[in-house]
Amino acid sequence: MTLEEFYDLDEMEQRETVWENGEFLDDRMDEDGVHRVALYQIFSFYVELFYNIEYNVLSKLIAFSDTEMLDIYLQQFSLDELKGW
């Protein structure tokens, strides 16, 4: 499945596709502290699922292939932590 084919799916089909085929990579809090954002890799692209932590609902989904958008996740790690691997 391509990113374009994924975006052609309706919202429920997109969610199901992520849950059935996605590989969880990481999570973070959004800049406003309102959402827990879960990052998945699926096929040849990435999907972020935004969960509203107050209401415990999925409120937004963003799919992308631009790896620069992964930088926010990489900022969570220090190189010193990774040296022990």
Rounded distance, CA 36 to CA 57, Å? 10
The tens digit of pLDDT for each residue in 22-65 reads: 999 999 999 899 999 999 999 999 999 999 999 999 999 999 99
> How many domains does the chain fold into?
1
Rounded distance, CA 31 to CA 4, Å? 27
pTM of the predicted model, to two decimals? 0.84
CB-hemisphere CA count at 13 Å for 7? 9
pLDDT in the model for residue 75: 76
The residue range of the domain holding 26 is: 3-82
Instruction: List the CATH number of the domain containing 55.
Output: 3.30.67
Token match 């990113």: residue?
3
Quickly count: other Cβ atoms within 10 Å of residue 78's Cβ.
8
